[in-house]
Structure 1
Amino acid sequence: PNEIILYQYEVCPFCCKVKAFLDYHKLPYRTVEVSPLTKKQLKWSEYRKVPVALLDGEIVTDSTAIITRLAAEIAGQEQQEQQQQQKSHGEEEWRRWVDERLVRLLTVNIYRNMRESYQTFDYITASSCNFGFFEREAARVVGAVMMWGISGRLKKKYGIEGDVREELYQAANKWTEALGDQRFHGGSKPDLADLSVFGVVRSITCTDTFMDLMHTTRIGTWYEHMMDAVGDSTRLSTS
């Protein structure tokens, strides 16, 4: 596509998945920050969850669908030939695992206690351009208390048993074990599974959860390789 516009929350893990894909493939894009309180930027859309992408004016919703659509356009016919190889080493299974397991583990971890919940909302509100001072403070305090309060219910809802940090460590090590002796899941180059895991992990960069993950598990080396492979952001200035 000649024009890509991504309606997003800056630190939403699903939005960060899409941005990782765009950055890696050097696709220029613009972002529109959606207000989590009013979502007025999406008033034209029946679908009210982020991310929403406009690809040359065509609406595409859901992070996995957006990435799949763009990947098919980039590779064209070659993509169809590669799909069988990708399925053989579990690329699609890992992409589902990211959405159904990893994102949920990250969520319950960044809100696991009041201190980390406040830290997370400091990060979220500082990253958003849609908050004035009073809105930011209200969102930070109310959001942090609310998410800490429901974190236990989220844990039960997602079927996460035991210590949430240990569960996250196990998930990270499961991912690195799947890499074997390869640099990336895709071999010499990242595949869609690599980009999906990287995107959601990068979304929590400024949190204790991220630092603990890097220091306690084996994911750090792979993450550094991904940082190098993805490179600088290709986001265009909004000015």
Structure 2
Amino acid sequence: MAAACARTLGKVGWCLLESPGARRSGTVSYLLGKGNANGSRRAFGTGGTGVRSKLLSSVRGGGGKVLGCAFLLGGGLGLYRTAAFSVQQHLAEEEEETTVSGGGLKLTLYQYKTCPFCSKVRAFLDYYGLPYQIVEVNPVMRQEIKWSAYRKVPILMVNGDVQLNDSSVIISALRTYSINKEKSMSEIVRSYPEVKFVNERGKEVTEYNNKYWLMLSEDETEMIYPEKGMQKEEMKWREWADSWLVHLISPNVYRTTGEALASFDYIVREGKFGTFEGFFAKYVGAAAMFFISKRLKSRHNLQDDVRQDLYKAVNDWVAAVGKQRRFMGGDHPNLADLAVFGVLRVMEGLQAFDDMMDNTKVEHWYRRMERATLNHQGRN
């Protein structure tokens, strides 16, 4: 969430400054909510008229450039604080030993804290009790991963020389390594070849073959999946978490202007912003993501009330787990459990999370997953 927000602040700011339309009220009026696809004339605000009236007056007074500067300033100030906080966190964690007990692996995770894909990886590492070092990546400049041709997160570095990209590849490769003692991590990674193609929007996309497969022998597969259909079920729901569930997060946490502000209030608190910096990061970022969430809703064909899509998805998951199992993996979480838990966890503390708990049947499963990851139950 925070990654997309920060990049958007910069892009929107430059767009406002460079576009000829920024000198006219039309472009800025659209950004302020005066001309969306449904003809709505709701302007974003804080519930009071002070901030909204100041923004509108700046627009009417030829304030396209002013608003553009506000976006850039807000993004810049926010990123400065994020970078400073990340450096402090990085230095503190460097002091910890990061070698996996018995496995001989040194793991470094490059992430955005509120990214659901990164949260999936952390859920896996925590459940299996694998020590790892975190490097928080600046979501706009991404200087922390400038050494990598792959410019997204999560990235997991293994022993400083093997790079794992894509959350599902990371999880599959590490799980394979923990079971198959005959292959090195370098050999395992070659089983997940990179494929590049241009999607329907004309954007080059990188995907990975086999990313939901564990590269095991027949005997090892039977040991991990003793019952017929267990492997296919796990793979199906891991793919579902990536291709559907994750796309419900942003439209729900930025569903309304109030929820967008609450989400950015959370982001500001996590980043330890000062009062002035937090104001720009919160209000300008919330406005940008409110409009982006509407575009995402249209792209993924969600209902007008996106909560209903979230509720249905979560209840579908609970129904798939069933009443007879503690987890989809049975008595212990499998990789699908960890993936779904990791995605849903990024909404904790927000209204969307509370609504999900109140209006679905997910709570008992979710609390069991919390305990399992907190206590590193997969270590045994």
Tell me if both proteins adopt one fold, taking TM over 0.5 as the criterion. Answer: yes
Please name the residue that 1:124 is paired with.
267
Partner of 1:208: 351
Deviation at 1:87, TM superposition (A): 2.4
SS of the counterpart of 2:237? Answer: helix
**Does the alignment pair 1:41 with 2:144?**
yes
Distance in 2, matches of 1:128 and 1:232, equals 27
Tell me the distance in 1 between the aligned counterparts of 2:152 and 2:277.
21
Tell me how far apart the structure 1 counterparts of residues 304 and 220 of structure 2 sit (CA, whole Å): 41
Cα-Cα RMSD: 1.9
User: 1:174: which partner in 2?
Assistant: 316
Please tell me whether the aligned partners of residues 9 and 128 of structure 1 are also in contact (alpha carbons under 8 angstroms).
Answer: no
Measure the CA separation in 2 of the matches of 1:132 and 1:27: 34
Letter in 1 for 2:265: D
| Offset of residue 53 of structure 1 | 0.7
Q: CA deviation at 1:111?
A: 0.8
Quote the residue 2:302 is aligned against.
Answer: 160
What is the identity, as a one-letter code, of the residue corresponding to 2:135?
A: V
Conserved 8 A contact 1:16-1:200: yes
Name whichever of 131-140 and 184-193 sits farther off.
131-140
Q: How far apart, CA to CA, are the structure 1 residues paired with 2:123 and 2:254?
A: 24
**TM-score, normalising length: structure 1:** 0.90
Residue 140 of structure 1 and its aligned partner are, at CA, apart by 2.5
Write out per-residue CA displacement over residues 107-153 of structure 1, whole angstroms, 9 at most, x where no aligned residue: 21001111111111222233247x67655443322221111012111
State the shift of 1:85 in Å: 4.9
Report whether the alignment pairs 1:230 with 2:334: no
Contact 1:4–1:30 (8 Å) recurs in 2 = yes
Q: Distance in 2 between matches of 1:3 and 1:135?
A: 36
Say which of 168, 176, 179 aligns to 1:64. Answer: 168
Which amino acid is 1:115 matched to? G
TM-score (structure 2 length as normaliser): 0.58
Give the Cα–Cα distance (whole angstroms) in 2 for the partners of residues 35 and 134 of structure 1. Answer: 20
Q: Deviations over 1:161-220 (max 9, x none)?
A: 342001111111100000112100000000000000111111111100111111110000
Match of 2:123 in 1: 20
Q: Percent identity?
A: 43
Return the alpha-carbon distance in structure 2 between the equivalents of residues 132 and 87 of structure 1. Answer: 49
The alignment covers a number of residue pairs equal to 231
Q: Does 1:187 align with 2:290?
A: no
Higher relative contact order (CA closer than 8 Å, sequence separation 6+): 1
Provide the residue aligned with 2:282 in structure 1. Answer: 140
Cα distance in 1 for partners of 2:164, 2:371 equals 29
Which of 292, 297, 317 in structure 2 is aligned with 1:150? 292
Instruction: Identify the residue that residue 76 of structure 2 maps to in structure 1.
Output: none
Question: Which letter does structure 2 place at the counterpart of 1:231?
Answer: L
